[in-house]
Structure 1
Amino acid sequence: MGGHHWTDDHGNSHAVVIAREFDLVISLFNLPGHGPDPGIEHLVAEIPDGPLIGDQILTVQQLARAAAQAVRDGRTVLVRCNAGYNRSGLVVAQTLIELGHEASAAIGTIRQKRSPRALTNQLFEDYLITGLPVAHLLADLDTFS
Protein backbone atom coordinates (compact mmCIF):
# COMPACT_ATOMS: atom_id res chain seq x y z
CA MET A 1 0.00 0.00 0.00
CA GLY A 2 1.51 3.29 -1.03
CA GLY A 3 1.43 6.43 -3.07
CA HIS A 4 3.14 8.06 -6.01
CA HIS A 5 5.31 10.30 -3.78
CA TRP A 6 6.97 10.12 -0.39
CA THR A 7 8.24 12.93 1.81
CA ASP A 8 11.55 12.73 3.61
CA ASP A 9 12.31 14.09 7.09
CA HIS A 10 13.19 17.48 5.57
CA GLY A 11 9.83 17.85 3.80
CA ASN A 12 11.22 17.11 0.34
CA SER A 13 8.91 15.17 -1.98
CA HIS A 14 10.31 12.23 -3.97
CA ALA A 15 8.67 10.28 -6.77
CA VAL A 16 7.93 6.61 -6.22
CA VAL A 17 8.64 4.79 -9.47
CA ILE A 18 7.71 1.12 -9.68
CA ALA A 19 9.64 -1.12 -12.03
CA ARG A 20 9.38 -4.90 -11.52
CA GLU A 21 9.13 -5.10 -7.72
CA PHE A 22 5.54 -6.38 -7.78
CA ASP A 23 3.60 -8.96 -9.77
CA LEU A 24 0.42 -6.85 -9.73
CA VAL A 25 0.10 -3.09 -9.35
CA ILE A 26 -3.30 -1.53 -8.73
CA SER A 27 -3.36 2.24 -9.26
CA LEU A 28 -6.30 4.31 -8.03
CA PHE A 29 -4.47 7.43 -9.16
CA ASN A 30 -2.01 7.28 -12.03
CA LEU A 31 0.89 9.44 -13.14
CA PRO A 32 2.90 8.81 -16.30
CA GLY A 33 6.45 7.68 -15.63
CA HIS A 34 5.69 6.09 -12.26
CA GLY A 35 5.58 2.52 -13.60
CA PRO A 36 5.27 -0.33 -13.52
CA ASP A 37 7.48 -1.69 -16.29
CA PRO A 38 5.84 -3.19 -19.38
CA GLY A 39 4.80 -6.78 -18.82
CA ILE A 40 3.80 -6.22 -15.19
CA GLU A 41 0.05 -6.57 -14.64
CA HIS A 42 -1.27 -3.07 -13.97
CA LEU A 43 -4.91 -2.36 -13.15
CA VAL A 44 -5.83 1.32 -13.25
CA ALA A 45 -9.13 2.66 -11.95
CA GLU A 46 -9.02 6.26 -10.86
CA ILE A 47 -11.49 6.91 -8.06
CA PRO A 48 -11.96 10.06 -5.99
CA ASP A 49 -10.98 10.46 -2.36
CA GLY A 50 -14.58 11.33 -1.58
CA PRO A 51 -18.09 9.99 -2.02
CA LEU A 52 -18.23 7.13 -4.51
CA ILE A 53 -21.02 6.31 -6.92
CA GLY A 54 -22.25 2.75 -7.24
CA ASP A 55 -20.03 1.87 -10.21
CA GLN A 56 -16.95 3.09 -8.34
CA ILE A 57 -17.84 0.92 -5.35
CA LEU A 58 -18.19 -2.06 -7.70
CA THR A 59 -14.77 -1.24 -9.11
CA VAL A 60 -13.29 -1.25 -5.61
CA GLN A 61 -14.82 -4.68 -5.04
CA GLN A 62 -13.42 -6.01 -8.34
CA LEU A 63 -9.94 -4.67 -7.60
CA ALA A 64 -10.01 -6.13 -4.09
CA ARG A 65 -11.03 -9.52 -5.47
CA ALA A 66 -8.16 -9.37 -7.98
CA ALA A 67 -5.71 -8.44 -5.22
CA ALA A 68 -7.01 -11.18 -2.92
CA GLN A 69 -6.68 -13.78 -5.66
CA ALA A 70 -3.14 -12.63 -6.41
CA VAL A 71 -2.25 -12.95 -2.71
CA ARG A 72 -3.79 -16.43 -2.60
CA ASP A 73 -1.66 -17.30 -5.64
CA GLY A 74 1.49 -16.15 -3.83
CA ARG A 75 1.94 -13.05 -5.97
CA THR A 76 3.20 -9.70 -4.66
CA VAL A 77 0.73 -6.83 -4.91
CA LEU A 78 1.00 -3.05 -4.61
CA VAL A 79 -2.14 -0.96 -4.22
CA ARG A 80 -1.42 2.73 -4.61
CA CYS A 81 -3.15 6.07 -4.86
CA ASN A 82 -1.73 9.58 -4.66
CA ALA A 83 -0.50 9.66 -1.06
CA GLY A 84 -1.13 6.03 -0.12
CA TYR A 85 -3.61 6.50 2.71
CA ASN A 86 -7.30 6.62 1.81
CA ARG A 87 -8.09 5.19 -1.62
CA SER A 88 -5.41 2.53 -1.40
CA GLY A 89 -6.52 1.88 2.18
CA LEU A 90 -10.07 1.26 1.00
CA VAL A 91 -8.97 -1.35 -1.55
CA VAL A 92 -6.46 -3.00 0.80
CA ALA A 93 -9.04 -3.18 3.60
CA GLN A 94 -11.57 -4.73 1.22
CA THR A 95 -8.86 -7.16 0.08
CA LEU A 96 -8.34 -8.20 3.71
CA ILE A 97 -12.11 -8.64 4.06
CA GLU A 98 -12.08 -10.81 0.91
CA LEU A 99 -9.35 -12.86 2.62
CA GLY A 100 -11.58 -13.45 5.67
CA HIS A 101 -10.88 -10.55 8.04
CA GLU A 102 -13.60 -8.57 9.77
CA ALA A 103 -13.93 -4.96 8.57
CA SER A 104 -12.87 -3.37 11.86
CA ALA A 105 -9.84 -5.68 12.09
CA ALA A 106 -8.86 -4.87 8.50
CA ILE A 107 -9.07 -1.12 9.21
CA GLY A 108 -7.05 -1.54 12.41
CA THR A 109 -4.38 -3.56 10.63
CA ILE A 110 -3.97 -0.89 7.96
CA ARG A 111 -3.65 1.87 10.54
CA GLN A 112 -1.15 -0.16 12.51
CA LYS A 113 0.97 -1.27 9.54
CA ARG A 114 0.72 1.80 7.26
CA SER A 115 -0.08 4.79 9.45
CA PRO A 116 -2.62 6.03 12.00
CA ARG A 117 -3.50 8.56 9.25
CA ALA A 118 -4.60 5.79 6.89
CA LEU A 119 -8.31 5.55 6.13
CA THR A 120 -9.10 8.91 7.69
CA ASN A 121 -11.81 9.36 5.06
CA GLN A 122 -14.80 8.57 7.27
CA LEU A 123 -16.95 7.69 4.25
CA PHE A 124 -14.52 4.94 3.25
CA GLU A 125 -14.53 3.54 6.78
CA ASP A 126 -18.35 3.64 6.73
CA TYR A 127 -18.41 1.81 3.38
CA LEU A 128 -16.21 -0.94 4.83
CA ILE A 129 -18.15 -1.30 8.09
CA THR A 130 -21.48 -1.31 6.24
CA GLY A 131 -20.11 -3.70 3.62
CA LEU A 132 -19.41 -2.70 0.04
CA PRO A 133 -22.39 -4.61 -1.41
CA VAL A 134 -24.77 -2.63 0.83
CA ALA A 135 -22.86 0.62 0.27
CA HIS A 136 -23.22 0.02 -3.48
CA LEU A 137 -26.99 -0.34 -3.17
CA LEU A 138 -27.25 2.77 -0.99
CA ALA A 139 -25.05 4.83 -3.32
CA ASP A 140 -27.30 3.96 -6.24
CA LEU A 141 -30.54 4.96 -4.46
CA ASP A 142 -30.08 8.54 -5.71
CA THR A 143 -30.24 7.33 -9.31
CA PHE A 144 -33.82 6.08 -8.94
CA SER A 145 -36.67 8.55 -9.23
Structure 2
Amino acid sequence: MLLIGGGWRFGEGSAVKARHGIGHTERHWPVEPWNRIEPGLWMGGHLWADGTGTVHRAVVTEEFDLVISLHSSSCHGPAPSVEHLVHPIPDGPLTAPQLGRVIELAAVAADSVRDGRSVLVRCLNGYNRSGLVVAQCLIELGLDSAAAVDLIRARRSPRALSNDVFLQYLTTGLDIAKVLSSLDTWA
Protein backbone atom coordinates (compact mmCIF):
# COMPACT_ATOMS: atom_id res chain seq x y z
CA MET A 1 0.00 0.00 0.00
CA LEU A 2 1.11 3.52 -0.76
CA LEU A 3 0.43 6.09 1.95
CA ILE A 4 -0.78 9.41 0.58
CA GLY A 5 -1.01 12.63 2.64
CA GLY A 6 -3.57 12.71 5.43
CA GLY A 7 -3.37 8.96 6.02
CA TRP A 8 -5.29 7.95 2.89
CA ARG A 9 -4.10 4.68 1.43
CA PHE A 10 -4.22 3.62 -2.18
CA GLY A 11 -2.91 0.41 -3.68
CA GLU A 12 0.40 0.77 -5.48
CA GLY A 13 -0.15 0.31 -9.20
CA SER A 14 -3.89 0.55 -8.71
CA ALA A 15 -4.64 2.39 -11.93
CA VAL A 16 -7.84 0.95 -13.28
CA LYS A 17 -7.73 -0.72 -16.68
CA ALA A 18 -9.88 -0.87 -19.81
CA ARG A 19 -13.35 -1.59 -18.47
CA HIS A 20 -13.46 1.89 -16.94
CA GLY A 21 -11.86 3.69 -19.83
CA ILE A 22 -8.66 3.92 -17.98
CA GLY A 23 -5.43 5.66 -17.53
CA HIS A 24 -5.96 8.95 -19.32
CA THR A 25 -9.60 9.36 -20.15
CA GLU A 26 -12.23 11.78 -21.36
CA ARG A 27 -14.45 10.80 -18.44
CA HIS A 28 -14.61 13.38 -15.68
CA TRP A 29 -13.29 11.57 -12.63
CA PRO A 30 -13.13 13.31 -9.27
CA VAL A 31 -9.69 14.66 -8.34
CA GLU A 32 -9.89 13.38 -4.76
CA PRO A 33 -11.13 10.04 -3.44
CA TRP A 34 -13.48 11.75 -0.98
CA ASN A 35 -14.29 15.21 0.32
CA ARG A 36 -15.59 16.55 3.63
CA ILE A 37 -19.06 18.00 3.15
CA GLU A 38 -19.70 18.87 6.80
CA PRO A 39 -17.88 17.91 10.00
CA GLY A 40 -18.20 14.13 10.24
CA LEU A 41 -19.82 13.74 6.79
CA TRP A 42 -17.75 12.79 3.75
CA MET A 43 -18.71 12.00 0.16
CA GLY A 44 -16.64 10.00 -2.29
CA GLY A 45 -16.35 7.28 -4.85
CA HIS A 46 -14.48 4.12 -5.68
CA LEU A 47 -12.32 5.82 -8.32
CA TRP A 48 -10.48 9.13 -8.67
CA ALA A 49 -7.97 10.68 -11.08
CA ASP A 50 -4.68 12.32 -10.16
CA GLY A 51 -3.31 15.49 -11.77
CA THR A 52 -2.07 13.54 -14.80
CA GLY A 53 -5.51 12.02 -15.41
CA THR A 54 -4.50 8.54 -14.28
CA VAL A 55 -7.43 6.81 -12.58
CA HIS A 56 -6.87 5.09 -9.22
CA ARG A 57 -8.92 3.05 -6.78
CA ALA A 58 -10.06 4.88 -3.66
CA VAL A 59 -9.34 2.35 -0.94
CA VAL A 60 -10.84 3.00 2.49
CA THR A 61 -9.05 1.49 5.46
CA GLU A 62 -9.94 2.85 8.92
CA GLU A 63 -10.43 6.57 8.17
CA PHE A 64 -14.17 6.45 8.93
CA ASP A 65 -16.45 4.93 11.57
CA LEU A 66 -19.18 4.14 9.03
CA VAL A 67 -18.99 3.63 5.27
CA ILE A 68 -22.17 3.56 3.18
CA SER A 69 -21.54 2.10 -0.29
CA LEU A 70 -24.12 2.55 -3.07
CA HIS A 71 -21.77 0.80 -5.50
CA SER A 72 -19.67 -2.18 -4.54
CA SER A 73 -16.31 -3.31 -5.86
CA SER A 74 -13.84 -5.69 -4.29
CA CYS A 75 -10.53 -4.41 -2.89
CA HIS A 76 -11.88 -0.95 -1.98
CA GLY A 77 -12.30 -1.52 1.76
CA PRO A 78 -13.14 -0.61 4.35
CA ALA A 79 -11.21 -2.55 6.99
CA PRO A 80 -13.20 -5.32 8.72
CA SER A 81 -13.35 -3.24 11.91
CA VAL A 82 -15.33 -0.48 10.16
CA GLU A 83 -19.13 -0.62 9.97
CA HIS A 84 -20.00 -1.00 6.28
CA LEU A 85 -23.51 -0.74 4.83
CA VAL A 86 -23.71 -1.85 1.19
CA HIS A 87 -26.81 -1.12 -0.85
CA PRO A 88 -26.20 -0.78 -4.60
CA ILE A 89 -28.70 1.44 -6.41
CA PRO A 90 -28.81 2.51 -10.06
CA ASP A 91 -27.74 5.96 -11.22
CA GLY A 92 -31.21 6.60 -12.63
CA PRO A 93 -34.89 6.32 -11.70
CA LEU A 94 -35.40 4.44 -8.43
CA THR A 95 -38.20 2.17 -7.31
CA ALA A 96 -40.21 2.90 -4.17
CA PRO A 97 -38.21 0.32 -2.15
CA GLN A 98 -34.93 1.82 -3.40
CA LEU A 99 -36.08 5.33 -2.41
CA GLY A 100 -37.10 3.94 0.98
CA ARG A 101 -33.61 2.53 1.44
CA VAL A 102 -32.05 5.89 0.45
CA ILE A 103 -34.19 7.56 3.13
CA GLU A 104 -33.12 4.94 5.70
CA LEU A 105 -29.42 5.21 4.83
CA ALA A 106 -29.55 9.01 5.02
CA ALA A 107 -31.18 8.76 8.46
CA VAL A 108 -28.46 6.36 9.64
CA ALA A 109 -25.81 8.76 8.33
CA ALA A 110 -27.46 11.75 10.03
CA ASP A 111 -27.77 9.89 13.35
CA SER A 112 -24.11 8.86 13.11
CA VAL A 113 -22.98 12.44 12.42
CA ARG A 114 -25.07 13.67 15.37
CA ASP A 115 -23.37 11.02 17.52
CA GLY A 116 -19.93 12.35 16.54
CA ARG A 117 -19.04 9.50 14.20
CA SER A 118 -17.28 10.01 10.86
CA VAL A 119 -19.30 8.83 7.86
CA LEU A 120 -18.29 8.26 4.23
CA VAL A 121 -21.06 7.86 1.65
CA ARG A 122 -19.71 6.61 -1.67
CA CYS A 123 -20.73 5.33 -5.09
CA LEU A 124 -18.61 4.75 -8.21
CA ASN A 125 -17.58 8.34 -9.00
CA GLY A 126 -18.90 10.01 -5.89
CA TYR A 127 -21.21 12.37 -7.72
CA ASN A 128 -24.85 11.26 -7.96
CA ARG A 129 -25.90 8.23 -5.91
CA SER A 130 -23.72 9.28 -2.98
CA GLY A 131 -24.90 12.85 -3.55
CA LEU A 132 -28.52 11.79 -3.20
CA VAL A 133 -27.89 10.11 0.17
CA VAL A 134 -25.64 12.92 1.42
CA ALA A 135 -28.18 15.58 0.36
CA GLN A 136 -30.96 13.72 2.17
CA CYS A 137 -28.67 13.41 5.20
CA LEU A 138 -28.09 17.18 5.13
CA ILE A 139 -31.86 17.70 4.90
CA GLU A 140 -32.22 15.47 7.98
CA LEU A 141 -29.61 17.69 9.65
CA GLY A 142 -31.62 20.85 8.90
CA LEU A 143 -30.74 22.17 5.43
CA ASP A 144 -33.30 22.64 2.68
CA SER A 145 -32.78 20.73 -0.57
CA ALA A 146 -31.33 23.68 -2.53
CA ALA A 147 -28.80 24.48 0.21
CA ALA A 148 -27.85 20.79 0.46
CA VAL A 149 -27.21 20.54 -3.30
CA ASP A 150 -25.23 23.80 -3.31
CA LEU A 151 -23.07 22.65 -0.39
CA ILE A 152 -22.34 19.29 -2.01
CA ARG A 153 -21.37 20.94 -5.30
CA ALA A 154 -19.15 23.44 -3.49
CA ARG A 155 -17.38 20.80 -1.39
CA ARG A 156 -17.26 17.75 -3.71
CA SER A 157 -17.56 18.98 -7.30
CA PRO A 158 -19.76 21.14 -9.52
CA ARG A 159 -20.49 17.83 -11.32
CA ALA A 160 -22.12 16.38 -8.21
CA LEU A 161 -25.86 15.78 -8.40
CA SER A 162 -25.99 16.27 -12.17
CA ASN A 163 -28.64 13.54 -12.36
CA ASP A 164 -31.89 15.43 -13.06
CA VAL A 165 -34.06 12.62 -11.68
CA PHE A 166 -32.22 12.76 -8.34
CA LEU A 167 -32.59 16.56 -8.27
CA GLN A 168 -36.35 16.13 -8.84
CA TYR A 169 -36.50 13.64 -5.98
CA LEU A 170 -34.77 16.11 -3.66
CA THR A 171 -36.89 19.08 -4.77
CA THR A 172 -40.11 17.10 -4.40
CA GLY A 173 -38.98 15.38 -1.21
CA LEU A 174 -37.91 11.75 -1.05
CA ASP A 175 -40.99 10.69 0.93
CA ILE A 176 -43.30 12.08 -1.76
CA ALA A 177 -41.11 10.71 -4.56
CA LYS A 178 -41.33 7.29 -2.90
CA VAL A 179 -45.15 7.45 -2.87
CA LEU A 180 -45.26 8.62 -6.50
CA SER A 181 -42.85 5.88 -7.49
CA SER A 182 -45.02 3.27 -5.78
CA LEU A 183 -47.97 4.52 -7.86
CA ASP A 184 -45.84 4.09 -10.97
CA THR A 185 -46.53 7.70 -11.99
CA TRP A 186 -43.01 9.10 -11.47
CA ALA A 187 -41.34 9.69 -14.81
CA distance in 2, matches of 1:114, 1:137: 30
How many residues are aligned here?
Answer: 143
| 1:11-90 → structure 2 map (5 Å cutoff) | 11-90=53-132
Say which structure is richer in strand: 2
CA–CA separation in structure 1 for the residues paired with 2:143 and 2:51: 34
Read off the aligned partner of 1:31 and give its amino acid letter.
S
Q: Which among 149, 174, 179 is matched to residue 132 of structure 1?
A: 174
Look up the SS of the partner of 1:89 in the other structure: helix
Structure of higher CA gyration radius: 2
Which amino acid is 1:27 matched to?
A: S
Whether 1:116 aligns to 2:158 is yes
Q: Does 1:3 align with 2:61?
A: no
Deviation at 1:11, TM superposition (A): 1.5
More helix by share: 1
Instruction: Read off the aligned partner of 1:85 and give its amino acid letter.
Output: Y
CA deviation vs aligned residue, 1:11-56 (integer Å, no higher than 9, x gap) = 2111111010000000000111110001210000000000000000
Partners of 1:92 and 1:64 in 2: CA distance: 7
Regions of 4+ moved over 2 Å: none
Q: In the alignment, which residue of structure 2 is the partner of 1:105?
A: 147
The answer for unaligned runs of 5 or more in structure 2 is 1-42
Deviations 1:48-103 (A, max 9, x none): 00000000000000000000000000000000000000000000000000001101
Alpha-carbon separation, structure 1, partners of 2:184 and 2:155: 36
Return 5+ residue gaps in structure 1 as ranges.
none
Give the partner amino acid of 2:181.
Answer: A
Percent sequence identity over aligned pairs? 59
Q: Does 1 or 2 have the higher relative contact order (CA < 8 Å, sep 6+)?
A: 1
TM-score (norm 1): 0.97
Residue identity opposite 2:126 in structure 1: G
Give me the TM-score of the superposition, normalised by structure 2: 0.75
